[in-house]
Amino acid sequence: MKNIVLFSLLLTGFFGVSQQKTTGDVPLSPNNGITANFTLDNATSKVTLILKGPADRWFGLGIGVSAGFGMASGDAVVYSSVTTPKLTDRNFVGFTQPPLDSSQDWTIVSDVVSGTIRTLTLTRALTNSDPNDYQMPYATTNSISFAGPRPANATNTVAPHGGTANVGYATASFSAVLGVNDVHAADNKIVLYPNPAKETVNFKNADRIKSIDIYETTGRKLRTVKLNGESISVSDLKSGTYYFEITLKDGTLSFEKLIKE
């Protein structure tokens, strides 16, 4: 049974390698020139927001707000080149100019203008004690809704944005970010296929395998197999679930589950 417990732990560990997840670049709809990209980092407990908007005017992003509720309430971050600081942490209250938060939690990492587009890289803690901030705990934040306001005409005076025509909305899901080490580990992982199987099981990266121990779900070991080639026969196994403890030539272990038809 200890082998099955170990299998479960290692399998969980493999799929939990990634420490970051991201929305990727998400343009707002209807298109008003604003794009947002959220990346959550579990290791640093930080969120990075790459926010793009028109370079000739103020613009912002309402976080945790969605179409239908407009910009009437919610967390907000607003950029204007003439305010001090240029980036302000705000909250929407009704349809007036969004007031400043008492706590300014976002930090500008970079501010770059290319042509007509300004790209801001911002960072903040995933969670904090500010009641006006949208909280983004890593484990439970799997999607996010946001809205981006901007004025109809070129101006850096922050004021009500001038109607729904100047607001775009989006809802995005987070996907895991695989780093170089994660991708390398996935490429070198022992994988068995097909699964479920009837007669024969093949192994990806079979050249790394020294031996295979096959266990029932009860933890009882059935046999040890020396791999000859890239496949083994499982025709004698009854229908059910089996666990493979795979000893690699470098002495490490890999674990796979097989469903036998």
Q: Distance between CA 105 and CA 77 in Å, rounded?
A: 10
pTM above 0.85, yes or no: no
Assign 74 a pLDDT band (cuts: 50, 70, 90): confident
Give the pLDDT score at 116. Answer: 96
Q: Distance between CA 243 and CA 221 in Å, rounded?
A: 9
Residues sharing a CB contact under 8 Å with residue 124, sequence separation 6 or more, in sequence order: 46, 47, 49, 105, 106, 107, 133
Q: Mean pLDDT score of the chain, rounded to an integer?
A: 84
Task: Please say whether the beta carbons of 227 and 203 come within 8 A.
Answer: yes
Q: Which amino acid is at 165?
A: A
Percent of the chain at pLDDT > 90 equals 48
DSSP code of residue 191: E
pLDDT digits (tens, 9 = 90+) for 90-146: 887 666 677 888 889 999 999 999 999 999 999 999 999 988 899 999 999 999 999
Query: Average pLDDT for residues 150-177, to the nearest whole number?
Result: 84
Q: Distance between CA 44 and CA 47 in Å, rounded?
A: 9
C-alpha angle 134-139-142 in degrees, rounded to nearest 5: 65
DSSP code of residue 180: H
Give the pLDDT score at 4. Answer: 46
Q: Which two tokens stand for residue 44?
A: 């640093």
Q: Which two tokens stand for residue 246?
A: 């795979």
Environment class of residue 127 by beta-carbon count within 10 Å: exposed (0-12), middle (13-18) or buried (19+)?
A: middle
Position with higher pLDDT, 4 vs 28: 28
